[in-house]
Chain A
Amino acid sequence: TQLLEQSPQFLSIQEGENLTVYCNSSSVFSSLQWYRQEPGEGPVLLVTVVTGGEVKKLKRLTFQFGDARKDSSLHITAAQPGDTGLYLCAGCSGGYQKVTFGTGTKLQVIP
């Protein structure tokens, strides 16, 4: 079983603070995705990283894929209340594109 552990599980911060969410596994993935989910909705893709060591930026969000393609991080700069949600990493593997989700990080940004 491929397990993706995310840390922290919960995070409550003030608007304007920075934060980092980690996604770790003992398995190697062909690619890794990050999703954000709001209550009552399905997850929505933020980014896909494919190459070990790859860094992608999406406005105030920076995503990094570990060199060994086993882990990833999401850094948010100057968090805003609109960033509140459940952040999920998802590892992709196998010739048939099996997508396994992480345990999730619930972020609350307080105005």
Chain B
Amino acid sequence: GAGVSQTPSNKVTEKGKYVELRCDPISGHTALYWYRQSLGQGPEFLIYFQGTGAADDSGLPNDRFFAVRPEGSVSTLKIQRTERGDSAVYLCASSVGVDTGELFFGEGSRLTVL
């Protein structure tokens, strides 16, 4: 498809486990964003990539969270030693990357930590 693709759509894990969430942006989009959203709330900024580099990772809550984008396309958000408080929908968005353009979002990955 031509949109932003996120996998898995749903992930249930146990406290303390490691989780990876994948985002495949729109082809040609250089900017990629990760957000975290709780029910009924606005998305909370986690990290922003311009190309392969993390231009701003100030939203990552702590060192258990890490994200990569090695080839400037697909990105993976990695969460170590998951906690119940990490439960949320993790949204990925991409944009053309020139000026502040429209963010195109995926449908999100719903993470539940038991």
Contacts and interface: CB of A to CB of B under 8 A. Distances in A.
Given A31-B100, A96-B55, A97-B95, A103 B41 contact: yes
Contact of A42 (B48, B55, B91): B91
Which size bracket describes the interface of B in this complex?
20 to 34
Given A41-B107, A43-B105, A96-B56, A101 B48 contact: no
Contact of B107 (A40, A86, A88): A40
B95 A102 contact: no
Contacts of A48: 100, 102
Contacts, number: 67
A92 to B, nearest CB: 4
B14 interface: no
Contacts of A45: 102-103
A88 B42 contact: yes
A30 interface: yes
A100 interface: yes
Contact of B45 (A30, A42, A101, A106): A101
Nearest to A93: B100
Interface in B28-43: 31, 33, 35, 40-43
Residue of A35, A94, A99, A100 most packed against chain B (CB within 10 A): A99
B99 interface: yes
Interface of A: 4, 6, 30-31, 33, 35, 40-45, 48, 86, 88, 90, 92, 94, 96-104, 106
